[in-house]
Amino acid sequence: MMTKPTVDTDDNTQSKLLRLLAWLSPAFPTGAYAYSHGLEQAVEDGDIANGDTLRNWVTDILHHGSGRNDVILLRHAHRTGTDVTMLNDLAVALASSRERRIETLDQGTAFVAAAAPWQVPRLPDRVAYPIAVGSIAGHHGIDEDTTAPAYLQAFAANLISAAVRLVPLGQTAGLRVLAALEPAILQVASATRTATLNDLGGCAFRSDIAAMRHETQYTRLFRS
């Protein structure tokens, strides 16, 4: 049975940070580049047409949609003694469309496989992305309050990367949006610190509808 690392030295703290940076890097092979979280449909519908509308769209998802829900689930998966199987079932049930269900399960399962060189705890064969990240970060003793905003930042960066290709936006415009989202990322990370599973839920309906409509979008670059 694998044991959770317990040594708490400066070198170990830096090693933990390096792991988190590697795991949430765009280069980490989770297949995130293939998913737009319904953003591709939003661009076609004209809801996202420039940096300002992109910033508003992602801000709403962070505060009121899957960004907030994901980080609540991540925090609970991070904590020892939590029923990970139950959390995973809940994460899958919360997916608002078939494509979003595929997105979170594909990325989570790929994340576990890619993180294997660092040791991973026992998880469901098909695992939602926030459950995988939270469980493995907790297993390695990586601080929950560091993991949560890092996860949200990586989530937002992936949506911006999709928009840069779809709108299209320039790289500089995309980076301006990412910089402008820092307060929202920190607010959501802080607000979810004491959230319970009863606090799960959302009202980012236009994003959810875009994800549903994307399943039948005629021309698609992304899988969601």
Q: How do residues 117-160 score in pLDDT, each as one tens digit?
A: 999 999 999 999 999 999 999 999 999 999 999 999 999 999 99
Any domain includes 205 = yes
Any domain includes 15 = no
Q: How do residues 165-195 score in pLDDT, each as one tens digit?
A: 999 999 999 999 999 999 999 999 999 999 9
Any domain includes 28 = no
Q: Is the pLDDT of residue 66 over 90?
A: yes
Confidence label for 1 from pLDDT (cuts 50, 70 and 90): very low
Residue 47's domain comprises 37-214
Cα distances from 54 to residues 47, 57, 60, 221, in angstroms, run 8, 5, 10, 18
Any domain includes 192 = yes
d(CA 189, CA 149): 5
Confidence label for 8 from pLDDT (cuts 50, 70 and 90): low
Any domain includes 171 = yes
Cβ–Cβ < 8 Å for 107, 30: yes
Q: Looking at the 3D structure of the chain, how many domains does it have?
A: 1
| Helix boundaries (H) for the chain | 10-23, 39-45, 51-64, 66-78, 84-94, 98-114, 129-139, 144-166, 171-180, 182-191, 205-214
Cα distances from 197 to residues 13, 26, 60, 201, 206, in angstroms, run 29, 29, 20, 9, 23
Burial 113-141 (b: 16+ CB within 10 A, else e): ebbeeeebbebbeebbbbbbbbbbbbbbe
Any domain includes 88 = yes
The pLDDT of residue 80 is: 81
Cβ–Cβ < 8 Å for 153, 121: no
CATH code of the domain covering residue 79: 1.10.4190.10
Q: How do residues 21-57 score in pLDDT, each as one tens digit?
A: 999 999 999 999 999 999 999 999 999 999 999 999 9
Q: Is the pLDDT of residue 11 over 90?
A: no
Any domain includes 10 = no
d(CA 103, CA 210): 14
Any domain includes 20 = no
Count of Cβ atoms closer than 10 Å to residue 211 Cβ: 28
Among residues 70, 192, 58, the alpha carbon closest in space to that of 132 is found at 70
Q: How do residues 75-122 score in pLDDT, each as one tens digit?
A: 999 998 789 999 999 999 999 999 999 999 999 999 999 999 999 999
